[in-house]
Amino acid sequence: LNQKLAGGAALLGFLAVFVGSPYTGATATVDSEDLAVLVQKEVDHVRPAELADWIIQGKVDFRLIDLRDAKEYGEYHIPMAENVPLPELNSYGLTRNEKIILYSDGGIHSAQAWFLLKAQKYRGVYILLGGLEEWKDSVLFPSMAQNAGPEEKAEFEKMKEVSKFFGGSPRTGTTGGTEVQAALP
């Protein structure tokens, strides 16, 4: 019996040499020229106002991924967001053909996650431009300068309604150089 087991193990070991590496799938290739073009043209970005519009319209053809830790996610997250900390991204169950929008506080982690997913051939991966900080500034707490022109005033009126939809509060005028921290909804 021992000889048969040893022979079977030797045969399996011999076959393993020709079948392949146990690390298949652990590496990824990146076409750096294609990635550079995507980054330069900013086709991999979604602006906060655009995302807000999708959420208001009830679009469900995308997955919004919050890469921050569970504590930060619990304090505040964009509606519809799924909490997937960066180390868990590879095992989360995303599919390569869905639209995935990534965000973190400012954008560094989402850019890193974007790169990781692109290297693994995920097609529809996007970054929320400016991350959660830009979402707060332009969607939750939009502001308008005191000397705003007609176009800026019209855009601000639109963003006031968007802000109210998400529980934010628009700001007008300046605060004399000091930023007032508004409470998150």
Q: How many CB atoms lie within 10 A of CB 78?
A: 21
User: Mean pLDDT lowest for which of 20-24, 123-127, 171-175?
Assistant: 20-24
Tell me: the pLDDT tens digits for 23-81? 555 555 656 666 566 555 556 899 999 999 999 999 999 999 999 999 999 999 999 99
pLDDT reported for residue 119: 87
CA distance 54 to 13: 54
Range of lowest pLDDT (81-85, 93-97, 105-109, 165-169): 105-109
Task: Evaluate whether 45 touches 129 at the Cβ level (below 8 Å).
Answer: yes
Torsion sign, CA atoms 75, 67, 182, 157: negative
* Residue 102 pLDDT: 96
CA distance 84 to 160: 30
pLDDT band at 9 (very low <50, low <70, confident <90, very high): low
User: Residue 185: its pLDDT value, please?
Assistant: 72
User: What's the average model confidence in pLDDT over 14-22?
Assistant: 58
Taking the CB of residue 89, how many other CB atoms lie within 10 A of it? 19
140-173 pLDDT, tens digit each: 999 988 888 889 888 999 999 999 999 998 887 6
H helices within the chain, ranges in order? 2-19, 32-41, 48-57, 70-75, 108-119, 131-135, 150-165
Give the C-alpha distances (Å, rounded to integers) separating 20 from 12, 14, 17, 171: 12, 11, 6, 61
Alpha-helical segments (H) within 20-141: 32-41, 48-57, 70-75, 108-119, 131-135
> For the whole model, what pTM was predicted?
0.74
Residue 72 neighbours by CB under 8 Å, 6+ apart: 105
pLDDT at 54: 96
**Bridge partners, residue 45, by sequence:** 127
**Centroid of chain to Cα 141:** 21
Q: How far does Cα 77 stand from its chain's mean position?
A: 12
Residue 22 clears pLDDT 90, i.e. is over it: no
